[in-house]
Structure 1
Amino acid sequence: MARVSFEELLDAGVHFGHLRRKWNPNMAPYIFMERNGIHIIDLYKTIAKVDEAAAALKQIAKSGKKILFVATKKQAKDIVADHVKKVGMPYVTERWPGGMLTNFATIRKAVRKMSTIDKLLNTPNYTSISKRERLQISRERAKLEKNLGSISDLNRLPAALFIVDISKERIAIAEARRLNIPTFAIVDTNSNPNLVDFPIPANDDASKAISLIVWKMIEAIEEGLMERKIDKDKRSDDEGVDSDNSTEGRAYDIDDEEDPELKKLAKQKANDEGEVMKRPRKPAAGGNRGPVRKPAGGGAPKKKF
């Protein structure tokens, strides 16, 4: 995983913060200096936080879990949507639907409704519906696609959230904190970094800065998915080798049984055992006693008086 360089962050304008009067005191450890009334972010700390967040996201992706990206601000929505589509992760770039995490079952019902409408559009009965009803259905489908289309593949709660501008996405932060879902976020000087688990101090208003940091996260996720695929292929290959070895072992046993030398030895052993069985038994000590006859009647002999 390639580390982000100081020059890349500087060229993207990641170091520019907000005005001094808008700052959040909790961001003091990440502020390098103040110039012309604007806080300057310490890029060395940004590099460390980017590496930390990328490593954590890589492990989550390697485990096969989903990471939800949230960016509803105008300068970030298109960038996030374009980058996240490459790794197949869910994202929210329109209005955050309240209760999306805490009331996930209801959101899933809306997603299933969208799939039901899709099935209806492909049936011949759709043409028999009146024009007014078809228009209503198409409008409802477009609305659902706009708000929930990007999370249609999200069958369970995400393992983590990546957020651009936590001041704007405070509802998403609150829901994630309530459900103990790890949060990653780009945090500017006017936000509270203590609200997220992995804050990345950076400029969350410049589209170039957002694109750079989001792309580094996407690269880490891609590496995690690639390692997961390699491990999966390796396990399948190992299972195939084990099955081949067991098959070879069975074939070897069959060949041994069909070996003429082994057959000859087995036949000779069987003949020897037959000769032993045919030998007469030696008489027991004390001579050969005949069978003892019992008196007639089956009982003891009667006494004569």
Structure 2
Amino acid sequence: MINIGVKELLEAGVHFGHQTKRWNPKMKRFIFDARNGIYIIDLSKTLTQLEGACDFLAKTVSRGGRILFVGTKKQAQEAVKEAAKSCGQLHVTERWLGGTLTNLKTIKRSLGRLGHIEKMETDGSINRYGKQEQSSLRREAARMFKNLDGLRALNTLPDAMFIVDVKREHNAVAEARRLGIPIVAIVDTNCDPDQVDYPIPGNDDAIRSVRLILNTVVDSIKTARADYESKFGRKKGEEQQPEAAAAPAQGVNPDQVITPEPANA
């Protein structure tokens, strides 16, 4: 049971959709009305969908499952990162790299490379290199840290994904659908809800709207996670801590640059 109602959704502006000329007809079932050229989302349906999504995510986490949060649009980045971290889940908030899910082996090798460079910084072995090489290694590590830090514990594919703006994150959606990973997402009036297993109709542009939905989801996940830990102790996929997961993968050449190919913008 979620702890918000239509009043809270209304105050956060969750009901404001896009202009009527920028809509996806498949969202018609979630639209209440159109006013001043803007579609108004039916918040009673938002509430129902949100409750169903939270129930699914809670059940997933209560079985030891991991959730990957994705939100790379500027106004949502910090909120998505904070939400994922607060409930101990994975996140991508910078750029979705092509093959993040479908080429997991390359991502894990890149994380190994990142861990190796970080270890060199810690133990001082990076000083064996010349200044130019050190600078190059640090730039490489900074680039990988920016894109991959939220995936350090990605030892296996996530059990579900939570996405803010499926239209923008179409590459992430495509990879998840290809692999059969369930998707929970905030879907605005310009999105295709049929691409999502658990669509939550709502304003995906206003930060208050995004934060309210994220906070509600996080509360459900935290409760489920605590329940899982009380029963089983360790969390699935965390037998190896995130720091350890960043250690060099077996067979990785520490001097070889391994960077996933960015998805098309």
**TM-score bracket relative to the smaller structure:** 0.7 to 0.9
Residue 181 of structure 1 pairs with residue 181 of structure 2 = yes
SS in 1 for 2:21: helix
Distance in 2 of aligned mates of 1:30 and 1:125: 58
Corresponding residue for 1:300?
A: none
8 Å contact from structure 1 (residues 3, 51) kept in 2 = no
Corresponding residue for 1:126?
A: 126
1:246-261 alignment to 2 at 5 Å?
none
SS in 2 for 1:54: helix
Residue 92 of structure 1 pairs with residue 92 of structure 2 = yes
Runs of 4+ displaced beyond 4 Å: none
8 Å contact from structure 2 (residues 24, 190) kept in 1 = yes
Cα-to-partner distance string for 1:277-299 (whole Å, 9 max, x where unaligned) = xxxxxxxxxxxxxxxxxxxxxxx
Distance in 2 of aligned mates of 1:210 and 1:44: 17
Cα-to-partner distance string for 1:92-122 (whole Å, 9 max, x where unaligned) = 0001000111111111110111111122223
Residue 148 of structure 1 pairs with residue 144 of structure 2 = no
8 Å contact from structure 1 (residues 77, 93) kept in 2 = yes
Cα-to-partner distance string for 1:216-247 (whole Å, 9 max, x where unaligned) = 110110011111122236xxxxxxxxxxxxxx
The structure number with the bigger radius of gyration is 1
> 1:65 offset after TM fit, Å?
1.4
TM-score normalised over the length of structure 1: 0.75
In structure 2, list runs of 5 or more residues that go unmatched.
234-265
Question: Match for 2:24: what amino acid?
Answer: N
SS in 2 for 1:158: coil
Corresponding residue for 2:253?
A: none
Corresponding residue for 2:25?
A: 25
Cα-to-partner distance string for 1:108-144 (whole Å, 9 max, x where unaligned) = 1101111111222233432232111111111111111
Corresponding residue for 2:41?
A: 41
SS in 1 for 2:185: strand
Q: How many correspondences in the alignment?
A: 233
SS in 2 for 1:175: helix
Question: Match for 2:192: what amino acid?
Answer: N
> 1:4 offset after TM fit, Å?
1.9
Corresponding residue for 2:168?
A: 168
Corresponding residue for 1:247?
A: none
> 1:28 offset after TM fit, Å?
0.5
Distance in 1 of aligned mates of 2:72 and 2:64: 26
| % same residue | 44
Question: Match for 1:178: what amino acid?
Answer: R
Distance in 2 of aligned mates of 1:171 and 1:2: 30
Task: Describe the shift of the 1:209–1:119 C-alpha distance in structure 2 as closer, same or farther (beyond 3 A).
Answer: same
TM-score normalised over the length of structure 2: 0.86
Corresponding residue for 2:259?
A: none
Corresponding residue for 2:13?
A: 13
Distance in 2 of aligned mates of 1:102 and 1:179: 7
> 1:3 offset after TM fit, Å?
2.9
8 Å contact from structure 1 (residues 163, 185) kept in 2 = yes
1:203-222 alignment to 2 at 5 Å?
203-222=203-222
8 Å contact from structure 2 (residues 15, 41) kept in 1 = yes
Distance in 2 of aligned mates of 1:157 and 1:232: 21
Corresponding residue for 2:263?
A: none
